[in-house]
């Protein structure tokens, strides 16, 4: 670890503590653990700080195993997760966040390269669980349930597992060999997969297969429609079907100029895919401005770099054979309003990217299951529907729709299904208090400049579906892991050990941290003042508090 010293600020003063010394100690140091913001922000519940520490030490297999305790798809998430962990990283206040997703991808790719497998469960429960849907939520649930000792079968309506990871995320963002490798590893754990099997009667499937519980995780595969007057309705496609047809090798004829209607990430993917299929011009039409678009900024930036045109503040009013009529909009109080001004844009086809719905009507005959107005299924805090033993998660329950959130739902459901099957109540252990940047005492900086993942040049990227972002090398991944500040948790830097003037700190050995010898400690607070990650607090002595 490269350490560059900066100005030392006295944290004891900032916290209002006195540093009194002498034979009568009024305060004592205590080792504490806090919750780092990266862990707190991860929808999959990864212990990010722990696996970063292992990667920092070069223990990559251990780091991968720690990561996959919570998330079985690191090579996938390292590519497609929108990494809210990095948005929350305390390091953003110093220079730039740790590139957590790139290290996660490195570990996932290394595991595929070295054919690392999961350890099989030590005991089998005899319980059988049906998972309906082979997307990220279903795969996650199946993985965690199998590790808990249950026999799991996935019934997937499509020709391959992966769900929207296959049919909604283009191959240039998620190579299919990477996705399949991580699915295959889950199957080798003992999960049974039945493809091309659409479930229409959940209770009948449970009875036929003698399943004790079921987890339903059907993705949002139905594209939303809108009424647009059109002379040729055949030129209108929906983005979900378009991306799925491309994945299955049935790409439709879209013409030379393609208009994509919508402002989300799916719209960006549809436009970029159209470009790769040979469209000379792919333009996005969106009724709001960039500030209010649902797509992530980097998605829009990448689309623009590849030659995609975006017409902000426009809404489609009418379609002709080779053109679309759009009305200009204006934003007032955050909402778009029509202006009565129109223009014509050339387009041979229009792809609607207005959001997706889930097909949940087959559950309406199941007693106890209730629905929101949008068709999503209502679940309780344990991910169980109103029918005992039937759980649901992913896109089909009220929530944000991302791969990582779906993966987290699968894990949470698995733990609650396990408790339901064993007649116990799962209770998530309480979290430690969240540590913020103002609590840290960052008197050093580790490797200030982040390692960037190489990108293919845009003019090369649009020529095909090859992956557009490369991974980090072994040395780059370790360097980037070393940028972690270990917020709120001791990383055994020996700072307290070296700073104590009374030799009151005892080293317990690698991985065991330290303890205080209070017979020698005077309560001066030097250990607390220098601790960079706030792993030491000063507590008032009981005798002093009673005075």
State the DSSP string of 412-470: HHHHHHHHHHHT----PPPPPPBP-GGG----EEE--SPPPPPB--HHHHTTS-S-SB-
Supply the pLDDT for residue 11: 40
Q: Does residue 468 sit in the same domain as residue 407?
A: no
- Per-residue model confidence as pLDDT tens digits over 350-372: 999 998 888 899 999 999 999 99
Q: Do 334 and 367 belong together in one domain?
A: no
Give me the residues paired with residue 444 across strands.
Answer: 5
Residue 538 · residue 17 · CB < 8 Å: yes
Are residues 266 and 337 located together in one domain of the fold? yes
Residue 127's nearest CA partner among 154, 145, 139 is 145
Give strand ranges (E) for 262-406: 281-285, 309-311, 314-319, 323-332, 335-346, 349-352, 356-357, 390-392
What value does the mean pLDDT take over residues 268-293? 95
Res 219 pLDDT > 70? yes
CA distance 334 to 337: 10
CA distance 342 to 332: 19
* Residue 27 pLDDT > 60: yes
Q: What interhelical angle do 176-188 and 136-147 show, nearest 10?
A: 30
Q: State the pLDDT at residue 446.
A: 62
Query: Looking at 355, 375, 410, which one is the last position of a domain?
Result: 355
Give the span between the Cα atoms of 351 and 238, in whole angstroms: 5
Do 47 and 74 fall into the same domain? yes
Q: Taking a C-beta distance cutoff of 8 angstroms, is the pair 164, 133 a contact? A: no
Same domain, 42 and 74: yes
> What is the sign of the dihedral through the CA atoms of 127, 70, 407 and 114?
negative
Given a cut of 70, is residue 50 above it in pLDDT?
yes
- Cα–chain center distance at 335: 29
Confidence at 547, pLDDT banded by 50, 70, 90: very low
Q: Check residue 59 and report its DSSP letter.
A: -
- Per-residue pLDDT of 455-487, as tens digits, reads 999 999 999 999 999 999 999 999 999 999 999
Q: Could you tell me if residue 179 is inside a domain?
A: no
Question: How many Å is the maximal CA-CA distance in the chain?
Answer: 92
C-alpha–C-alpha distance, residues 68 and 322, integer Å = 50
Q: What is the mean pLDDT of residues 529-542?
A: 92
Assess if residue 396 is contained within a domain.
yes
Mean pLDDT within 184-211: 97
Residue 66's domain spans which residues?
37-116+441-481
pLDDT single digits (tens) 382-395: 999 999 999 999 99
Q: What's 45's domain CATH number?
A: 1.10.1060.10
Does residue 78 register a pLDDT over 90? yes
Among 333, 355, 377, residue at a domain's last position: 355
Domain boundary among 299, 323, 355: 355
Domain match, 276 and 328 both: yes
Are 201 and 321 contained in the same domain? Answer: no
Q: Is 389 found in the same domain as 332?
A: no
**CATH number of domain containing 249:** 3.50.50.60
CA distance 241 to 218: 16
Same domain, 233 and 144: no
- Does pLDDT of 16 surpass 50? no
Based on the number of CB atoms within 10 Å of its own CB, is 10 exposed (0-12), middle (13-18) or buried (19 or more)? Answer: middle
Q: Is residue 182 domain-resident?
A: no
Residues 447 and 541 both lie in one domain: no
Distance from C-alpha of 163 to C-alpha of 401, rounded to nearest angstrom: 13
Domains held by the chain: number: 4
Phi, psi dihedrals of residue 340, rounded to the nearest 5°: 80, 5
Closest residue by Cα to residue 186 from 126, 132, 124, 140:
140
- pLDDT (0 to 100) of residue 12: 38
Q: Is the pLDDT of residue 95 over 60?
A: yes
Please list, in sequence order, all residues whose beta carbon lies within 8 angstroms of the beta carbon of residue 194, skipping any fewer than 6 positions away: 153, 154, 155, 156
Residue 13 has pLDDT above 50, yes or no: no
Is 465 within the bounds of a domain?
yes
Query: Given pLDDT bands bounded at 50, 70 and 90, which one contains residue 441?
Result: confident
Is residue 90 predicted with pLDDT exceeding 50? yes
Q: Are residues 217 and 227 in the same domain?
A: no
In a domain, 183, yes or no: no
Positive or negative torsion for Cα 372, 377, 382, 385:
positive
Torsion of CA 343, 347, 353, 358, to 10 degrees: 130
The reply to whether 247 and 335 lie within a common domain is: yes
In degrees, to the nearest 5, what angle opens at C-alpha 141 toward C-alphas 138 and 142? 85
Predicted confidence (pLDDT) at residue 22 exceeds the cutoff of 50: no
Cα–Cα distance list, 99 to 78, 340, 448 (Å): 10, 46, 12
Residue 178 lies in a domain: no
| Residue 334 burial (C-beta neighbours within 10 Å; 0-12, 13-18, 19+) | exposed
59 within a domain of the structure (yes/no): yes
Give the CA radius of gyration of the chain: 27
């Amino acid at each position: 670890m490269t350490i560059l010293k900066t100005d030392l600020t006295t944290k004891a003063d900032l916290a209002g503590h006195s540093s009194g010394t002498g034979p009568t100690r009024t305060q004592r140091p205590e080792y504490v653990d806090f919750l780092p913001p990266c862990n707190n922000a991860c929808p999959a519940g990864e212990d990010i700080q722990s696996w970063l520490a292992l990667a920092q030490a070069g223990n990559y297999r251990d780091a991968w195993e720690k990561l996959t305790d919570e998330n079985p798809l690191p090579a996938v998430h390292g590519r497609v997760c929108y990494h809210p962990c990095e948005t929350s990283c305390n390091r953003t206040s110093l220079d730039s966040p740790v590139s957590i997703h790139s290290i996660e991808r490195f570990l996932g790719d290394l595991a595929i390269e070295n054919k690392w497998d999961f350890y099989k469960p030590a005991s089998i429960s005899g319980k059988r669980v049906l998972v309906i849907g082979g997307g990220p939520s279903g795969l996650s649930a199946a993985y965690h349930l199998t590790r808990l000792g249950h026999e799991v079968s996935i019934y997937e309506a499509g020709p391959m597992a992966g769900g929207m990871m296959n049919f909604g995320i283009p191959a240039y963002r998620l190579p299919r060999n990477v996705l399949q490798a991580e699915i295959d590893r889950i199957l080798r754990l003992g999960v049974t997969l039945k493809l091309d099997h659409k479930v229409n009667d959940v209770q009948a499937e449970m009875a036929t297969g003698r399943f004790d519980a079921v987890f339903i995780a059907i993705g949002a595969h139905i594209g939303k429609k809108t009424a647009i007057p059109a002379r040729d309705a055949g030129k209108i496609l929906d983005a979900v079907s378009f991306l799925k047809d491309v994945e299955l090798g049935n790409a439709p004829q879209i013409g030379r100029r393609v208009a994509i209607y919508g402002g989300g990430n799916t719209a960006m993917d549809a436009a970029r895919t159209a470009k790769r299929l040979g469209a000379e011009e792919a333009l996005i039409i969106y009724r709001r401005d960039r500030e209010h678009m649902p797509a992530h900024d980097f998605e829009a930036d990448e689309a623009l770099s590849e030659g995609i045109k975006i017409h902000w503040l426009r809404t489609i009013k009418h379609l002709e054979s080779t053109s679309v009529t759009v009305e200009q909009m204006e934003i007032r109080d955050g909402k778009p309003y029509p202006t009565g001004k129109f223009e014509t844009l050339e387009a041979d086809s229009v792809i609607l990217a207005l959001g997706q719905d889930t097909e949940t009507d087959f559950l309406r005959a199941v007693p106890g299951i209730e629905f929101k107005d949008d068709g999503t299924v209502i679940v309780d805090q344990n991910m169980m529907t109103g029918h005992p033993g039937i759980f649901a998660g992913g896109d089909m329950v009220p929530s944000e729709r991302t791969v990582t959130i779906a993966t987290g739902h699968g894990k949470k459901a698995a733990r609650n299904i396990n408790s339901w099957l064993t007649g116990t109540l799962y209770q998530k252990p309480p979290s430690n208090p969240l540590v913020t940047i103002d609590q840290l005492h960052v008197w050093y900086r580790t490797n200030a400049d982040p390692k960037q993942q190489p990108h293919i040049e845009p003019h090369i990227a649009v020529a095909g579906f090859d992956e557009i972002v490369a991974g980090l090398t072994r040395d780059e991944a370790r360097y980037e892991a070393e940028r972690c500040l270990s917020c709120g948790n001791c990383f055994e830097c020996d700072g307290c050990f070296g700073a104590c003037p009374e030799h009151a700190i005892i080293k317990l050995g690698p991985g065991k941290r330290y303890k205080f010898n209070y017979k020698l400690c005077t309560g001066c607070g030097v250990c607390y003042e220098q601790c960079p990650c706030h792993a030491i607090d000063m507590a008032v002595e009981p005798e002093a508090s009673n005075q």
